[in-house]
Structure 1
Amino acid sequence: MSGTDTIVAADVVITSPGRNFVTLKITTAEGLVGWGDATLNGRELAVASYLRDHVAPLLIGRDPARIEDTWQYLYRGAYWRRGPVTMTSVGAVDLALWDIKGKATGQPVYQLLGGAVRDRILCYTHASGWDVPRLLDAVDAQRERGFRAVRAQSGVPGLGTVYGVSENAPAHEQTPGHKPASGHEQPDGRGPGPHGPGPQEEIWDTDAYLRHAPEMLAAVREHVGPELKLLHDVHHRLTPGEAARLGKALEAVNLFWLEDVTPAENQEVLRHVRRHTTVPLAIGEVFNTVWECQTLITEQLIDFVRTCVTHAGGISHLRRIAALAELWQVRLGPHGPSDISPVALGASLHVGLSTPNFAIQEYMGYEPVVHEVFRHAWSYEDGHLHPGDEPGLGIEVDEALAARFPYEPAYLPVARRRDGSITDW
């Protein structure tokens, strides 16, 4: 990359090979192409419009080597800051520029970030079952695939669907936003809800969940023994008091982490939870900047921060979050289910391989066709991931194949309490 190279095009690619993905393609005058993930599950077209209508015109003519300057320009130069749509857009640009930087220098991005601090990255996957026996079967299946860390979720007696876990859906389809090949009803928002087209609506009962979750997770621990790293996601459904009760009840289960116990926009509420339980807490997948994580990190109210490389403004900003967290002995465990594309997963792995306090990466895997659309150097083996050693992020997108899968409207479900009032998803 010469000092005179400039960005000549910034194009948005929308494709839906099983689920919707938004990808940014940046091209330079010297013919280098960088790829960035801009997927925001359930709000994909908002990010696509933000990129096309507001960001792409600002990139033309800029020096692609000036990654930090471009980040500052897009974040600080705009009056309206932060938020998931803005930060996902900024993150897509940042990933694409790091990809170009790596290709220009002939180095994988992790080498540009200081080189590897570990040989491979521990990852966890999901195991879901409507009842405990089916959950145990799902956990065993993931252990047979080599996973040493598993997030366990189950249905709740008396409820019909619990954040993606459905009594009738096969385990491999129990992820919101997934398009079922069988055509049966699936909690992904495709199809009418009770009030017409839009998200499916689930019924939630906190008391039923609090009765069931400790018994369910204790059964999993008894089944797998002490060595498997066991995780569980609460999906923001509890008050601070309820979260503290659950944490105390789960201390004997020896969880690797308990995720999103309560909405954390008001970060001070985690003080109450922390005072009453020693269970490790993980929060932050819906956070978009270091400022949203600041109190949780500096007061050590959490043990793991879960900000996603795409939704938190890219590699450049995730490294700031990691640096702050390292000072307070908080580790990274970034969000990374199948609703971020292989581009974002690859970027997260480059950060993970080069970041001392990176603990674990979420990895659900993708349908085979997704791997064909997004050809990647990263790989999975024996419970671990590696970003690969190809220049840049190690990702190339088959645009012709991507064009065969047009966008399909999809929403995450909505949850209501038994009295009909909305609760947190």
Structure 2
Amino acid sequence: MEVKKNHKIVGRREVLKGLGFGSAVGALGIFGGLPDASAKEMKETPSYARGMAPITIKSVKAITTRPSGSNLIVVKVETSEPGLYGYGCATFTQRAFAVLPAIEYLNEFCEGKDVDNIEDMWQSAYVSSYWRNGPVLNNALSGLDQALWDIKGKRANMPVYQLLGGKCRFAIPCYAHANGKTPEEVAVDVQKFIDQGYKYVRIQQGGYGGAGITGTPDFKKAGFAKETDGYMDQRTYLQSVPKMFELVRKVCGSEVELLHDIHERVRPIDAINLIKNVEQYDPFFIEDPFSPENMEWFKQLRATTSVPIAMGELFNNINEFKNPMVNHWFDYIRIHVSQIGGLTPAMKVARLGEFYGIDTAWHGPGDVSPVGHAAQAHMDYAIWNFGIQEAAQFSDQLREVFPGCPTMNNGYMSVNEAPGFGVEVNEKLAAKYPMTTKSSWTIRKADGTIIKP
């Protein structure tokens, strides 16, 4: 660029100096890109000289174990830097053995890739098979994703929650699980947790769907189906839940927050009526009223009752959350983090929830590994729109296999301050508890008809 000044030709550098940019012009290379010499220097400078040295993936492998009755799978990502590795949860208990070949595939796919490029690796692994959204690959991908975050925390010498924005709370409020065959037994269990400092308790009578409060079903008397198949009397369950809420409120008072999980085990219209019937007992939330195939029933549910709803543990894809969130169909994001593909996609859903007034409530059952529970806890620290966390109880065997497990105290979960997720895996000890069974989840009506969870 040239302009005339007092009949002289003035170049762009002089114009910029006159505007006050001075010597910064040459350094910034404004309007002309980098000067030729600087551009050449940048091209010839190795990437590791401009920041941390690049570290690549050496291997992706599965560690399997079963120290406390649940098949657990943890992915270990080893890197080109000796001694630097990460762990991530890939547990899919119901189809655990199917996940192992998917992890082998990721080993070949990821070898040599830069460990820092988590988003790129997630996206490429997710779509490279063309077909996607399945729980088997998603769980394997979750293990990879979480392990890369663990590595990133170790490289930064920080807990992962610091990389997500730091703490929003000093510890993580959790809800406990109370159970019993009668309302009275449930109330006793609730009081036990209140005495331990819990302010939130989920109440179930006879387990999910009241399966433990019914007799021998007709289909078993007839020799139909497998002996191990479960039975649920849906009518008995629907009648028992309001009575359970009533008695627990009477015995334990109004200060404790009560939760309940329908577990998608009744007809949508029956779930709506049940939620309406327990509204007077002020539930903190009711979980999973409908299966993913029956989402259209949320419109009727929202028009019928204002009870808060938690939903989403059966969703495989983050896009399944968009429409329910836009329409405010539920209040708590109930993601099973390994099912959705790991920390990276789970954080995206959590951030979206903040815009719609929807809080998180990650799914944290006993068949999530301690590595997975730690990953959830680190997100819980960093998410502003955190709602509640399902409590995790770790046996002595689990703590031996997974040193550094999160801890529970007075109803709160905490993690240690070690870099990454802070959980290690004793691989030799893990090998002493091999996965030995293939799990199935089959619940039937009295005549033998399958009940969909």
For the Cα contact (< 8 Å) 1:338–1:363, is it kept in 2? no
C-alpha spacing 1:265/1:305, structure 2 compared with 1 (3 Å): farther
For the Cα contact (< 8 Å) 2:211–2:233, is it kept in 1? no
Aligned to 1:186: none
Runs of 4+ in structure 1 off by over 6 angstroms are: none
Deviation of the 1:371 alpha carbon: 1.0
Aligned to 1:12: 62
Deviation of the 1:200 alpha carbon: 2.4
Kindly report the root-mean-square deviation, in angstroms, between the aligned alpha carbons of the 2 structures.
1.9
Residues of 1 paired with 2:191 and 2:253: CA distance? 12
C-alpha spacing 1:165/1:386, structure 2 compared with 1 (3 Å): farther
1:126 partner amino acid: H
For the Cα contact (< 8 Å) 1:240–1:272, is it kept in 2? no
* Alignment map for 1:215-230 (pairs within 5 Å): 215-230=243-258
Give the 3-state SS of the residue equivalent to 1:136 in structure 2: helix
1:75-130, CA deviations, whole angstroms, 9 ceiling, x for partnerless residues?
13330111211211111111000000000110000000111111111111111101
Aligned to 1:134: 185
Aligned to 1:370: 398
Deviation of the 1:2 alpha carbon: 3.8
350, 355, 358: which is aligned to 2:383? 355
* Alignment map for 1:80-99 (pairs within 5 Å): 80-99=131-150
Residues of 1 paired with 2:234 and 2:203: CA distance? 18
243, 249, 266: which is aligned to 2:277? 249
For the Cα contact (< 8 Å) 2:399–2:405, is it kept in 1? no
1:92 partner amino acid: G
Aligned to 1:184: none
For the Cα contact (< 8 Å) 2:204–2:261, is it kept in 1? yes
Residues of 1 paired with 2:402 and 2:383: CA distance? 25
Aligned to 2:102: 50
Residues of 2 paired with 1:407 and 1:290: CA distance? 30
Aligned to 1:21: 72
Aligned to 1:172: none
Give the 3-state SS of the residue equivalent to 1:293 in structure 2: helix
Aligned to 2:153: 102
What TM-score, normalized by structure 1, do the two folds share?
0.89
For the Cα contact (< 8 Å) 2:362–2:389, is it kept in 1? yes
1:396 partner amino acid: E
* Alignment map for 1:41-190 (pairs within 5 Å): 41-52=93-104, 54-155=105-206, 162=208, 166=212
Residues of 2 paired with 1:43 and 1:332: CA distance? 26
Deviation of the 1:372 alpha carbon: 0.9
Give the 3-state SS of the residue equivalent to 2:60 in structure 1: strand
Residues of 2 paired with 1:87 and 1:3: CA distance? 30
Max Rg structure = 2
306, 311, 322: which is aligned to 2:339? 311
Count of matched residue pairs:
393
Residues of 1 paired with 2:202 and 2:98: CA distance? 30
Structure having greater relative contact order (Cα 8 Å, sep ≥ 6): 1
Residues of 2 paired with 1:37 and 1:194: CA distance? 37
Give the 3-state SS of the residue equivalent to 1:282 in structure 2: strand
What TM-score, normalized by structure 2, do the two folds share?
0.83
Residues of 1 paired with 2:78 and 2:392: CA distance? 30
1:23 partner amino acid: V
Give identity over the alignment, percent. 35
Deviation of the 1:308 alpha carbon: 2.0
